[in-house]
Amino acid sequence: MELESAGNFQELLGIELIEVTGDRVVCTCEIKPQLHQPYGILHGGVYCSIVETAASVAAAMWLGDEGNVVGVVNTTNFIRAARVGTLTATATPLQRGRTQQLWQVEIIDSEGRLSAHGQVRLANLRQVDRLGQPSG
């Protein structure tokens, strides 16, 4: 399966995909001052975005051409603040089923310390023509 470029937001944050399979995704993100919050540390939303990206790419690769995946829950715990360096995120599956998947993501800093941990539950959408359409 080939994913269209997340284009856009992923590139804006500087997330680079290093390893991509349906069983594991590894990506990196360089911490830049533009990604800081007012106290000079990486904004929590960046961690959430890294978690969402890694889990979503992995889940999509696993589902393959059967449909698309969309995140329904993202829970990210911030463990260690970071100001500089490169973060590395690794997504691995906790559960993969017919209608949903659950992935965990660990983010480590340049020194190998855990910076954040997240889980993303994703829905497997097999009727992709309804993606983004109102229900009813």
Active-site positions?
A: 52
Q: How far apart are the C-alpha atoms of 75 and 95, rounded to whole Å?
A: 16
Q: How far apart are the C-alpha atoms of 88 and 47, rounded to whole Å?
A: 11
Residues listed for the chain: 136
Alpha carbon of residue 135 to chain centroid? 26
Q: Report the candidate in 68, 58, 121, 43 with the shortest Cα–Cα distance to residue 90.
A: 58
CB 100 within 8 A of CB 44: no
Q: How far apart are the C-alpha atoms of 66 and 58, rounded to whole Å?
A: 14
Q: Which two tokens stand for residue 128?
A: 């992709």
